[in-house]
Amino acid sequence: MSDLWLLKGLKTGIVTEDLKSIAPFHQKHIAYAVASECPVNCISDGYVDMKKCIQCGICTNSDKTVLDNEDLFRIESKFDKKIKKSIFIFVVDGGSCNACNMEIHNMINPVYDLSRFGISFTNNPKHADLLLITGVITGQLDPAIKIAYESMPEPKKVVRIGVCSISGGIFDKGIDGISENCIVAGCPPDPVTILKAILSLCGMV
């Protein structure tokens, strides 16, 4: 059995990709659009506010791709010092559609291989350095998220993943009162963008 896996592995070769060589997925289909057609009013003067864009596709059928959105993620404050130990992530779903959760989970995919950077997930916020929040933050989950945040040791950082957790996207967003250190736009953001944001937040790139 294990021989078969080994042979298959040798035949397939290394599947892990260099992060620099993977283009962020959603960059390629943001295009010029008529502002009034955008369901979340995120276009003004030909500029797309990535904190709101739900990637609905309405403006992407145009051939006139004019926008180069550098703003796929934004760091508000990095860790003071470069972290030398392994980094642990605790993920909370604050009322998501699950696509953001699946893209976060996908970072362990051998294609992205989160562990090569010394980063892994933890099931316990008491061990976590980073809190990743997805979803609109429902009233029922807000207290649980606060407890998770408060039980994390210092220094700790908060990353909002996806437009739901940043602006609510197409839904109404709840308020959790936790200030974020990094936001990753997209609906959902792809694993490479999330990974690059985390590496940048931790001073690893």
Contact residues toward ligand SF4 (CB under 6 A) are: 33, 38-40, 42-43, 48, 53-60, 96-97, 99-100, 134-135, 162-164, 169, 187-188
Tell whether residue 131 is a contact of other proteins (CB under 8 A).
no
Q: Which among 1-9, 69-77, 177-185, 196-204 is the span making contact with other proteins, rule CB under 8 A? A: 1-9
Measure the CA dihedral 198/100/178/77, to 10°.
20
What sign does the CA torsion over 192, 194, 199, 205 have?
A: positive
As a residue count, the chain comes to: 205
Contacts of 86 (CB under 8 A, 6+ apart): 118, 119, 120
Residue 80: CB minimum distance to other proteins, A: 28
Q: Which string of x and - marks every residue 25-64 that binds other proteins (by CB under 8 A)? A: x---x---------x--------------xxxxx-xx---
Which among 131, 129, 132 has a CA at the least distance from the CA of 153?
Answer: 129
Choice between 62 and 77, CB closer to other proteins: 62
Separation CA 176–CA 3 (nearest Å): 51
Which among 176, 194, 204 has a CA at the least distance from the CA of 132?
Answer: 194
Q: Which does 48 bind (CB under 5 to 8 A by kind): other proteins, ligand SF4, none?
A: ligand SF4
Q: What angle do CA 168, 205, 91 make, to 5 degrees?
A: 40
Residue 186: CB minimum distance to ligand SF4, A: 7
Q: Which does 42 bind (CB under 5 to 8 A by kind): other proteins, ligand SF4, none?
A: ligand SF4
Tell whether residue 152 is a contact of other proteins (CB under 8 A).
no
Tell whether residue 92 is a contact of other proteins (CB under 8 A).
yes
CA distances from 153 to 94, 126, 129, 149, 190 (A): 21, 6, 7, 9, 28
Q: Which does 38 bind (CB under 5 to 8 A by kind): ligand SF4, other proteins, none?
A: ligand SF4
Choice between 125 and 188, CB closer to ligand SF4: 188
